[in-house]
Chains A and B, each alone.
Chain A
Amino acid sequence: MAETTLALPGRTTRRVRIVTSATIVVTVALAVLVVPPLAQLDQQAVDLANKLDPPSWAHPFGTDDVGRDLLLRCVYGLRVSLLVGLVAALTATVIGTAIGALAGAFGGWTDRVVMRVVDALSSVPHLLLGIFIVAMFRPGVWPVIVSVALTHWLSTARIVRSEVLSLRSRPFIDAAVSGGASRTRVIVRHLLPGVLPQAGLAAVLMVPHAMWHESALSFLGLGLPAHQASLGNLVQSARGSLLAGDWWPTLFPGLFLIIPTLALAGLAGAWRDRINPRRKSELML
Chain B
Amino acid sequence: MLELTRITAGYDRRDPVVRDVSLHVAAGEAVGLLGPSGCGKSTLARVAALLHRPDAGTMTLDGTVIRGWRHRAPREQRTAVGVVFQQPRLSADPRLSLRELIAQPLRSTGRRREVPGRVAELAQLVGLSEELLERRPHAVSDGQLQRACLARALVLEPRLLICDEMTAMLDASTTAALVAVVERYRSESGAALLAVGHDRVLLERWCDRTVRWGERNAGPAERERVAAG
A→B interface (CB under 8 Å)? 170-172, 174-183, 185, 190, 193-194, 285
Q: Are A177 and B105 in contact (CB-based, < 8 A)?
A: no
Supplied contacts A180-B75, A180-B78, A193-B95, 5 more A-B pairs, CB within 8 Å: A172-B92, A179-B156, A180-B79, A181-B108, A182-B108
Among B75-108, those with CB < 8 Å from A are 75, 78-79, 81-83, 85, 87, 89-93, 95, 104-105, 108
List, in ascending order, chain A residues with CB within 8 A of B108's CB.
176, 179-182, 185
Q: Mark B42-54, 1 if CB is under 8 A from A, else 0.
A: 0000100111000
B152 within 8 A of A: yes
Considering the complex, give the chain B residue whose CB is closest to the CB of A193.
B95
A190–B95 alpha-carbon span in the complex (Å): 9
Which B residues are CB-close (under 8 A) to A171? Answer: 85, 87, 90-91
Most buried by A among B49, B91, B153: B91
User: B109 at interface (Cβ–Cβ under 8 A)?
Assistant: yes
Whether A175 pairs with B71 at a CB distance below 8 angstroms is no
B70 contacts chain A at the CB level, 8 A cutoff: yes
CB neighbours of B152 from chain A (8 A): 175, 179
Q: Whose C-beta in chain A lies nearest to the C-beta of B105? A: A179
Say yes or no: A175 contacts B85, CB within 8 Å: yes
CB contacts (< 8 Å) of B155 on chain A: these are: 179
**Closest residue of chain A to B73, judged by CB?**
A177
The residue among A180, A182, A183 with the most chain B CB atoms within 10 A of its own CB is: A180
- On whether the beta carbons of B51 and A177 are closer than 8 Å, the reply is yes
In the assembled complex, B149 has its CB within 8 A of some CB on chain A: yes
Complex Cα–Cα for A254 and B105 (A): 56
